Structure 1
Amino acid sequence: MKFIVQWNGQPANENAVIERFMKTGGRTPEGVTLLGRWHAIGGLHGVAIVEANDTQSMTAMALEWGDMLKMNIFPALTDEDLGAALGKHVAGRQ
């Protein structure tokens, strides 16, 4: 399953976040595959798309950075997945 990961950090944590990222390369925990990651210019803000088979791996990711960054993690649907779900929803209302 794919997930959207958004993070925001406070300026007070900037040096610690930079140090950890440079040390680890921002690697994901076991069970989480990074599909893409984008960073905002001039701040501790960004978004990643990752894939994992379970929420335990996603919890590990949140805990790894949660001491310095506020993280929001959402299940992600492709257009095809959403279309199928919407089709079932519409069919159930008829």
Structure 2
Amino acid sequence: MKFIVQWKGEPAMQQAAIERFIKTGGQPPDNVTMLGRWHAAGEFRGVAIVEATDASAVAAMTVQWGDVFTFTTAPALTDEELGAVLASQQRSAN
């Protein structure tokens, strides 16, 4: 399952986040696959798309960084996956 993970940090925590990122490379736990990650230029926030078998794996990832960032996470669907859901809903409505 894919998840959208967004983070935002407070300026006072920026140095701690920089040091940890340089030391670890910001790698997720073994049970989470990083599909892509983007950082907002000039801001202390960003977004990643990750894949995991369940939400608890994503929760473990956010807990690792929870002292320097706040997170929002949501399940993510591709156009094809959402299209199938919408088509099914249309059929049920008719």
Give the TM-score normalised by structure 2: 0.96
In the alignment, the residues of structure 1 paired with residue 70 and residue 17 of structure 2 have an alpha-carbon distance, to the nearest angstrom, of 12
The sequence identity of aligned pairs, in percent, is: 55
1:56 and 2:61 matched: no
Deviation track 1:11-64 (CA, whole Å, cap 9, x = no partner) reads 010001101111110000121000111111112111111110111211101101
Please name the residue that 1:16 is paired with. 16
Query: Is the 1:30–1:57 contact (alpha carbons within 8 Å) kept by the matching residues of 2?
Result: no
Measured on the aligned residues, the alpha-carbon RMSD in Å equals 0.8
In the alignment, the residues of structure 2 paired with residue 4 and residue 55 of structure 1 have an alpha-carbon distance, to the nearest angstrom, of 11
What is the aligned residue count?
Answer: 94
- Unpaired runs of at least 5, structure 1: none
Letter in 1 for 2:45: H
SS at match of 2:41: coil
CA drift at 1:65: 0.8
Question: What pairs up with 1:1-80 in 2 under 5 angstroms?
Answer: 1-80=1-80
In the alignment, the residues of structure 1 paired with residue 32 and residue 74 of structure 2 have an alpha-carbon distance, to the nearest angstrom, of 14
Letter in 2 for 1:58: V
Runs of 4+ in 1 over 6 A off after TM superposition: none
- Unpaired runs of at least 5, structure 2: none
